[in-house]
Structure 1
Amino acid sequence: MNALPAGEAAAPVVSAQGVGKRYGPTVALSDVSLTVHPGESHALVGRNGAGKSTLVSILTGLSKTDTGSVSFAGQPAPPLSQREAWKQHVACVYQHSTVIPQLTVAENLFLNRQSGKRFMISWSRLRRQARDLLDSWSVNVDVDTPAGELSVEDRQFVEIARALSYGARFIVLDEPTAQLDSQAIERLFDRMRELQAAGVTFLFISHHLHEVYEVCQAVTVLRDARHIVTAPVAELGRAQLVDAMTGEQGGLSVRDAASRDPLPDSTAEALVVEGLAGEGFDGVSFKLRQGEVLGLAGSNASGKHQVAETLYGLRKPSAGTITVGGRPLRPGDVPAALRAGLGCVPRDRHNQGLVLEQSIADNATMTIMDRLGPAGIASPRARNASAARAVVDYGIVTAGPEQPVSSLSGGNQQKVVLARALASDPSVVVLINPTAGVDVKSKEALLAVVDRVRAEGKAVLIVSDELDDLRLSDRVLVLRAGLVVAEHRAGWTDGDLVADIEGVELDA
C-alpha cells in the first residue's frame, strides 16, 4: 500500500451522512451517519428494528436514500442501476448464504463471468482462475466441490473471496458467527485480521457483544432508526454499549438458577431419556423433572442439536428410549411428540419455525387448530382472539395479529415461534438456540417467558450456544463428540463450562 503524504489522512472507505429512509408511514432511518476508515473492523449494533438492515441495504446499493448521501473513498456512490460499479466498492456476506449449492465453488466464484470463446466456457481456465483467486486470499477449498457440500465457514470464505475478486475492499459481514461453533469463529476472526492487514475493511454486524470487543476497533450504535453513538471499542464499556442500544441502564438481566430454591426431591419426572443414540450422538441419558430447567451445551459438532431434534421427533434415533409423563414416546414422529405434551422452538426459525408469508395469527395458532373449532376448522374470531392473547402475553411488537411475520424484526419473529410452541400448553418445552439472532432486550423478554413457564411447573430443555441462555438451568450437561462428558450445577463459572465444552483443562 502506498504511503500518504505527511499530514494527509486517507479518505474513509465509506461515508454515509444524514441518511433518511421511510417506507410509507414507517421511519426506517432518520438522519443516520456512519464513517468507516480503511483497514478497520467497524461494528454496527442495535436492537432488532433499530435500522441496521435498512442502512446495509443503502450501503450496498439495494435501496436508495430519501435524504442524505453515501460516498466511497470520497467519491459519490454509483447510481443504483450500475450493479457492477457497486460490486467494485462493497459486498455483503449474509447470515444465510447466497452461494448456489448445486454449482461448484469455481462456478460460484465466476458466475456470469466465465471466460471462453464463442459462448463456450473454458472449464480448465475457470478452475485455474478460481484456484488462483482462492490461493491469493489463503482460502483452502477445492474448486470442484459443489458449494452445497461446504461447511458454513467455508461458504463464507468463498463469498468473501468472490467479493474481493470484483475489486471490493469493503465487506459487510451480517451475523457471520450465528451458525459457527467457537473454533470456527476463532478461525473467522483470524482471517479477518489477516485480511485487514492486507487492506480489507469490514462492517461487522452481530448481536454477540463480546465479539465486538474481540475483533472490532470501532462501533456505531443505532436505536429507533437513529444514530446514537460512534466510538472506539476500547473507550466504550459493555454496560455503556448495552445502555446505548436499549436507552436504559442496567444491561441484560438474566435470573441465574443458583438464586432459586431447589426443587423438592418428590417432584415428578416429566421426561426420561435412556441410552439415546442417533446421528452425531450416542448413549445419552438424563431425567428432567417438572419445573426444572436442563441445559445442553457443546460445540456445533457436539451432537447437542441432534439430541434435541430427536426428542421432538425431527430425527429418528438408532437406539434408546424417550418417556414423557411416564409414557413411551414413539420416535421420529412430530405429531406424536406434540400429542404427548412436547413443545419445541426449533433451531432455524426461518426454515423450521415460521411460515413467513402467513400472519402472526396463522403461525401462533397452527398447533392448536383442533382446539379452536370442529374438525380443525377455526373461526376467524377464535383464531384472532387466541393470537391477540399471544401478542399481549409475549410482548410481540406488531400492528396487529394479521401482520405477516416476514415483516417483523428477528426478536418478534422468535416470540411468535415461542408463542406457538407454548400454545398447546405442553408439559415439556424443548428450546433450541431460543435467543439466536435477537437483540439484548428481546433476549431478556424471551428468557423471562422461559422462567415464567418453569415456575408454572413445565419442564424445560435449553440447547444453546449462549451462556446467558444456560444460566436459567438448574443443571447443564456438556456434550462433546456425541457423548455427555460433564454435568454442571447452577452457579457454574464461564471458565469451567467453556473448558469442558472445548475439552481443555484449566490450570489449578
Structure 2
Amino acid sequence: MSTAPPVAEATGITKRFGSTVALREARLAVQPGETHALVGRNGAGKSTLVSILTGLQAPDEGAVRFDGSPAPRLADREGWRRRVACVYQKSTIIPQLTVAENLFLHRHARGRAGLISWPAVRRQARELLATWSVDVDAAVPAAQLSVEQRQFVEIARALSFGARFIVLDEPTAQLDGAAIARLFQRMRELQGQGVTFLYISHHLEEIYEICDTVTVFRDARYVLTAPVRQLARADLVAAMTGEAALARAGHRRAADAGGAAETLAVTDLSLSGAYENVSFTVRAGEIVGLAGAAGSGRTELAETVAGLRAADSGRVRIAGRGPKPGSVPDALAAGVGFVPQDRHLQGYVPGMSIADNGTLTVPGRLGAHGFINHRRRDTIARTMIENLAIKAPGPDLHVSGLSGGNQQKVVMARALANDPRVLVLISPTAGVDVRSKEFLLDKVEQTAAGGTGVLIASDELDDLRMCDRVLVLFQGRLVAEMARGWHDHALVAAMEGVDLDVRDHV
C-alpha cells in the first residue's frame, strides 16, 4: 500500500462571506494518480473549495497542503502554478493570440537585447504540445480552435508550469459525445504519465465512467468520500440531496389547470448545441418547471420562449400568437413577462432608479408620443414597491443601492408590469436571502392563481416544488415529466441522467 501523501489535501476548511458560510469544516484528500470527483448541488461549496485549492482565496480556518507540504503564500502565484491548475468551463485562452503565445504568455523566450524570440517561442510550444500529445498547430490563432482543443491547450499550459494536479471544472459542458470520449481517453493517458485530476461535474454518469473516488459536499459541509465502484448511484444521489431525498415534496397550491386554455405552446423546438425537438404546453394558471443540470439546455429553452434566442426550427406560440423568433419586443407584445438568469448582467440597469427599471417594459403606459410622464411613472412604481414589498425610501432610489433580494424584486416587478399571459423565470431565487426567496415564490403562486401561465427554468429544488409538473431536460433532450408530488431523489436522478427505479423511494 502506498504511503505517499495526498497530492492535494484540504482540512478543516471554513470560509465566510459576510454572514454567509460558504464552507464549514470541509475537507478533501486527492491521492496521487487518481481522478477524484467532487460533486454536490448548487451552493454545496464546490466552487469556494476550488478557489481555495488554487490560491485565489484564503480560508478563514483550516489548511491546504500539496504533497505533504504547506501551500504557498497567496502572493506566490508561481508557487501555486507549480502545484495546481484549473481548467474552467469558461476558457481562459485569449482567442486573438496564437496557441504558442497563449502557452507562454508573460514568459516568452527572449533573445539578444531582451527582445522576444518568436522562433524560440514557437519551437517551445511545438515541443510542449508534442510532449503531452496535443494535436494542435502552435502557430494558429486560438480563435480557430474548437472547445475541445482549447481545453487540451489549457491542460498543456498548466503542465508546462510543473503542476501535476489539474482541476477540471465542468469540462464536458460544451462538448459532444465524441469529444467527451476523446477527453476521457486523454485523461487516462495523462494519469499514466503521473497527472492527478479533481473532476467537477453535474453529470453523474461521467463520474462513474472516468473517476476513481468521489467526495460529496452538501450545504457547505463535507458529507462523504468513497470509491466510485463501491457507491451505488442511488446512494450518491441521496448523499447529495440529504434526508429530504426520501421526503414527499410539499405543495401549497391546489390548482387544476387541466381545462384551462393554453397560454404557451412549444412545438418541435430545436437550437443547435442547446436543445432538440422539444414540445410542451403551459395552460393558464399552471406552473411548469424546466429542470436540468448545467448544459441541459433548460436556460436556452426558456430564453427562446422569452425572445432572447431564435430557434433553428420549431415554433413558440403565446396565447395563440406566434411572436417573431429572437425578438424580445415581439415576445413582450405577445404577453411574455421575463426574469432572466443573471439580474446583474441582464435584469436591471444599476444606475437607473427603481421607477425607471420597473417600467422598462411598459413605455406606452408612461405617456403619449414617447414622452415620459414622471408623475405617472412614479405612481406605477410606488404600486410596484408596495406589491413586491421592496424596501426602499421611494421610487427614485437607484437599484444599485438595494440588497440582492430587493433587486430581484424589482426585476420581478418589471416582468409583471405588462400583466403577462406567460411568466418565464430562470433561477428566480438565485442569490437572495431566505425571506426574499419565500416572498418571490409566493408572488409566483399568486400570479398563477390570477390565470397567468408560469414557466420556471431552474435546477434549484425549492424553485420547482410549487410546480404542477416538472419537465426534465438532459443534454438537450426532454427525458422525463414528473407530476406534483415528485420526490427530490427521483428528480435529481433524472436531472443527472441517472436511470433509477424510483419506486423504492415513494
Describe the SS at the equivalent of 1:203: strand
After superposition, the Cα gap between the structure-2 partners of 1:334 and 1:249, relative to the gap in structure 1 and judged at 3 Å, is closer
Match of 1:163 among 126, 141, 158: 158
Please state if 1:341 is matched with 2:339: no
Task: Name the counterpart of 1:197.
Answer: 192
Task: Name the counterpart of 2:215.
Answer: 220
The answer as to whether partners of 1:133 and 1:161 remain within 8 angstroms in 2 is yes
One-letter amino acid of the counterpart of residue 85, structure 2: A
Alpha-carbon distance, 1:78 to partner: 1.3
Determine the C-alpha separation between the residues in 2 that align with 1:358 and 1:209.
42
After superposition, the Cα gap between the structure-2 partners of 1:378 and 1:98, relative to the gap in structure 1 and judged at 3 Å, is farther
Please state if 1:244 is matched with 2:239: yes
One-letter amino acid of the counterpart of residue 68, structure 1: G
Please state if 1:402 is matched with 2:421: no
The answer as to whether partners of 1:293 and 1:461 remain within 8 angstroms in 2 is yes
- Cα deviations by residue, 1:282-319 (Å, 9 ceiling, x for unpaired): x9997846358999999x99999888756543356899
Match of 2:283 among 278, 290, 294: 290
One-letter amino acid of the counterpart of residue 403, structure 2: Q
Match of 1:188 among 167, 178, 183: 183
Please state if 1:61 is matched with 2:52: no
Task: Name the counterpart of 2:395.
Answer: none
Match of 2:136 among 141, 144, 151: 141
One-letter amino acid of the counterpart of residue 60, structure 2: D
After superposition, the Cα gap between the structure-2 partners of 1:252 and 1:164, relative to the gap in structure 1 and judged at 3 Å, is farther
Task: Name the counterpart of 2:174.
Answer: 179
Question: Within 5 A, what are the aligned runs for 1:8-407?
Answer: 8-117=2-111, 118-250=113-245, 263=258, 268-271=261-264, 288=281, 290=283, 311-315=305-309, 323-344=317-338, 349=342, 353-354=346-347, 365=358, 376-377=377-378, 382-388=383-389, 402-404=402-404
Determine the C-alpha separation between the residues in 2 that align with 1:355 and 1:156.
33
One-letter amino acid of the counterpart of residue 98, structure 2: T
The answer as to whether partners of 2:297 and 2:473 remain within 8 angstroms in 1 is no
The answer as to whether partners of 1:280 and 1:302 remain within 8 angstroms in 2 is no
Determine the C-alpha separation between the residues in 2 that align with 1:189 and 1:86.
25
Question: Within 5 A, what are the aligned runs for 1:391-430?
Answer: 402-404=402-404, 425-428=419-422
Alpha-carbon distance, 1:449 to partner: 10
After superposition, the Cα gap between the structure-2 partners of 1:319 and 1:460, relative to the gap in structure 1 and judged at 3 Å, is same
One-letter amino acid of the counterpart of residue 39, structure 1: G
One-letter amino acid of the counterpart of residue 180, structure 2: I
Describe the SS at the equivalent of 2:78: helix
- Cα deviations by residue, 1:392-439 (Å, 9 ceiling, x for unpaired): xxxxxxxx993348xx9xxx99x998897567553235678x69x99x
- Cα deviations by residue, 1:421-479 (Å, 9 ceiling, x for unpaired): 567553235678x69x99xxxxxx9999999988876557789999xx9x987999999
Task: Name the counterpart of 1:441.
Answer: none
Alpha-carbon distance, 1:173 to partner: 1.8
- Cα deviations by residue, 1:182-229 (Å, 9 ceiling, x for unpaired): 444343333323322222111122333343333222222233433222
Bigger Cα displacement from structure 2, 114-123 vs 165-174: 114-123
Alpha-carbon distance, 1:36 to partner: 0.6
Describe the SS at the equivalent of 2:27: strand
% same residue: 51
After superposition, the Cα gap between the structure-2 partners of 1:301 and 1:203, relative to the gap in structure 1 and judged at 3 Å, is closer
TM-score of the two chains, using structure 1 as the length reference: 0.67
Task: Name the counterpart of 2:498.
Answer: none
Determine the C-alpha separation between the residues in 1 that align with 2:310 and 2:245.
44
Describe the SS at the equivalent of 1:179: coil
- Cα deviations by residue, 1:376-407 (Å, 9 ceiling, x for unpaired): 457876555455489xxxxxxxxx993348xx
Determine the C-alpha separation between the residues in 2 that align with 1:159 and 1:306.
27
One-letter amino acid of the counterpart of residue 44, structure 1: L
Bigger Cα displacement from structure 2, 72-81 vs 40-49: 40-49
Task: Name the counterpart of 1:394.
Answer: none
One-letter amino acid of the counterpart of residue 290, structure 1: R
Determine the C-alpha separation between the residues in 2 that align with 1:148 and 1:477.
30
Describe the SS at the equivalent of 2:199: strand
After superposition, the Cα gap between the structure-2 partners of 1:112 and 1:207, relative to the gap in structure 1 and judged at 3 Å, is same
TM-score of the two chains, using structure 2 as the length reference: 0.67
Determine the C-alpha separation between the residues in 2 that align with 1:419 and 1:219.
42
One-letter amino acid of the counterpart of residue 402, structure 1: L
Determine the C-alpha separation between the residues in 2 that align with 1:478 and 1:8.
39
Stretches of structure 1 lacking an aligned partner (at least 5 in a row): 1-6, 391-399, 439-444, 481-485, 499-508
Alpha-carbon distance, 1:124 to partner: 2.9
The answer as to whether partners of 2:86 and 2:168 remain within 8 angstroms in 1 is yes
After superposition, the Cα gap between the structure-2 partners of 1:98 and 1:456, relative to the gap in structure 1 and judged at 3 Å, is farther
After superposition, the Cα gap between the structure-2 partners of 1:33 and 1:310, relative to the gap in structure 1 and judged at 3 Å, is closer
Determine the C-alpha separation between the residues in 1 that align with 2:10 and 2:295.
40
Describe the SS at the equivalent of 1:15: strand
Determine the C-alpha separation between the residues in 2 that align with 1:47 and 1:479.
18
Task: Name the counterpart of 1:503.
Answer: none
Describe the SS at the equivalent of 1:63: coil
Alpha-carbon distance, 1:261 to partner: 9.2
Determine the C-alpha separation between the residues in 2 that align with 1:157 and 1:418.
41
The answer as to whether partners of 1:364 and 1:420 remain within 8 angstroms in 2 is yes
The answer as to whether partners of 2:269 and 2:279 remain within 8 angstroms in 1 is no
Determine the C-alpha separation between the residues in 2 that align with 1:15 and 1:479.
33
Alpha-carbon distance, 1:177 to partner: 3.0
Describe the SS at the equivalent of 1:143: coil
Alpha-carbon distance, 1:332 to partner: 4.2
